[in-house]
Amino acid sequence: MDFLKTLGIKEKNFGACSGLSWNDTTNQGELRVVSPADGKQIASVYQASEADYDQIIKRGREAFKVWRKVPAPKRGEIVRQIGERLREYKDPLGKLVSYEMGKSLQEGLGEVQEMIDICDFSVGQSRQLYGFTMHSERASHRMYDQYHPLGIVGVVTAFNFPVAVWAWNAMLATVCGNVNLWKPSSKVPLSAIAVQNILHDVLQENNIPEGVFSLIIGRGSTIGEKMLNDKNVPLVSITGSTRVGKHAAGIISQRFGKSILELGGNNAIIITENADLKLAIPAVVFGAVGTAGQRCTSTRRLIVHDSLYDKVKESLVKAYSSLRIGTSLDEKNHVGPLIDTDAVQMFTAAIDEVQKQGGKVIYGGEVLKGPGYESNCYVRPALVEAENHYPLVQEETFAPILYLIKYSGDVQNAIDIQNDVVQGLSSSIFTNNLREAESFLSHWGSDCGIANVNIGTSGAEIGGAFGGEKETGGGRESGSDSWKAYMRRQTNTINFSTEMPLAQGIKFDL
């Protein structure tokens, strides 16, 4: 395929790069990368060794000594150039993301646009790494905050967003003065290699030292564990399951490192009796089936007022029956494949289990076979009538299963149902009632990190901080003041008097 050649993807690729040069390790195993769209092998990647990791860390430490002294706006200029280069490669990179991961081409292109957007955001942020000035209780003293870079920032990304989540972290970390080490999911390494190739010319043209943007592709049991335990990596940003996050956070905290955790989401949309269904139904459908239900912000629970329940159910069955399911590179299709056959097995197991627990499948739930579905990764998105207390509904199933849950009474009943899970990422309410909307947004309302009114749970803009509470991890990425997570905070006090007064009026006379 032409886009592979354009992006520098070869039949066999190396798995470790420190910015400008690739290591040539070939004895750590070879990842065969197969597209879930058609079941064909795209290419392969030689996994990196622990020696590769050590070399990259050494280069990163040396690069940080140089990079932290570059003025932040000049660091922003490098990020601006990266954004421009991504604009040039948006089409081929979007196609690779779509083909390698399985999301629709529109979503693949949208993911690259997220990268471009966060570059633009970070360029502006490079001139706004501000701190507050405070009044001192002591005469002729000045106090203020300032923020300093941390060093090497590790970014561990998941398969569902092969490139955008890296950009959310790396572009902000870069303008803050850090250097970056990216460990992508072993299910989608080619997109990461393509990004590294795109960066190459920008780094070379600007004489950026080796180690500012590094990539390592290797086993979690070796390379991943090494990163988690490495005191040379003061911050690790991890996107993945709650199980992975708990394991990683435990290790990182033992060495007093910092972590940004973006973990599971069991996201709900509330449809009250005052909702506009013309707005709600499309948002629910996209939220539930976009990326084949493999977004951390995918809509998994739909909490509907009993007065509208039958109408909403009928509308959803009609909408689901019109979904076009097929190869991700065909823009006419709404739903692509799941990432692999393991994900398909998880989907079918969840369908079986929820029925044992009392759920009723009212649409979909089957694995698709026949022409166009040769990869065995395609399923028909499912609608399931359920209750929130079912054990399976309490879990995050990373697949296109939407649970329909009925509520009665006022909106607080719906909010209580929504909050009654261990995850706390994204939430939405559809209502034209101001009191319902404001109750949902109040501090006795949604307990999620993201709470929306009259839009769905999926598709966050980069301008706002992204992340969630409870077992979602508590981290924040992307916009607002998320940049502060990539820096260490320092309070400074300057005495420009001729006296030495102590705080709190303490006297210490010699």
pLDDT tens across 136-162, in order?
A: 999 999 999 999 999 999 999 999 999
CA 409/CA 199 separation, integer angstroms: 55
Is 296 catalytic? The answer is: yes
pLDDT band for 510, please (50, 70, 90 cuts).
confident
pLDDT at site 459: 86
Structure tokens at 280: 């709600």
Q: Which residues of 124-139 are buried (b: 16+ CB within 10 A; e: fewer)?
A: ebbeebeeeeeeeebe
Catalytic residue among 296, 436, 471, 477: 296
> Which letter does DSSP use for residue 22 in this model?
B
pLDDT digits (tens, 9 = 90+) for 189-201: 999 999 999 999 9
CA 450/CA 141 separation, integer angstroms: 41
Question: Which value, to the nearest 10 degrees, does the dihedral of the CA atoms of residues 321, 326, 329, 331 take?
Answer: -20
pLDDT at site 337: 98
Taking the alpha carbons at both ends of the chain, their separation in whole angstroms is: 80
Catalytic residue among 100, 114, 210, 262: 262
pLDDT digits (tens, 9 = 90+) for 58-81: 999 999 999 999 999 999 999 999
Give the length of the chain. 510
Structure tokens at 203: 């780094």
Residue 462 has pLDDT above 90, yes or no: yes
CA 371/CA 199 separation, integer angstroms: 39
pLDDT digits (tens, 9 = 90+) for 173-186: 999 999 999 999 99
H or E stretch at 213: strand 213-216
Backbone angles phi, psi at 211, to 5 degrees: 110, -10
**Cα-to-chain-centroid distance, residue 43:** 25
Give the position of tokens 């040769």. Answer: 374
Question: Which value, to the nearest 10 degrees, does the dihedral of the CA atoms of residues 284, 241, 262, 392 take?
Answer: 40
CA 274/CA 428 separation, integer angstroms: 14
Strand pairing class (141-149; 487-495): antiparallel
Asked if 352 and 407 count as a contact pair (C-beta separation under 8 A), the reply is no
- Residue 264 to residues 2, 186, 225, 244, Cα–Cα distance (Å): 36, 19, 21, 10
C-alpha angle with apex 477: 439 to 422, nearest 5 degrees? 50
Is 262 catalytic? The answer is: yes
pLDDT band for 1, please (50, 70, 90 cuts).
confident
pLDDT over 90, % of the chain = 98
Amino acid at 242: T
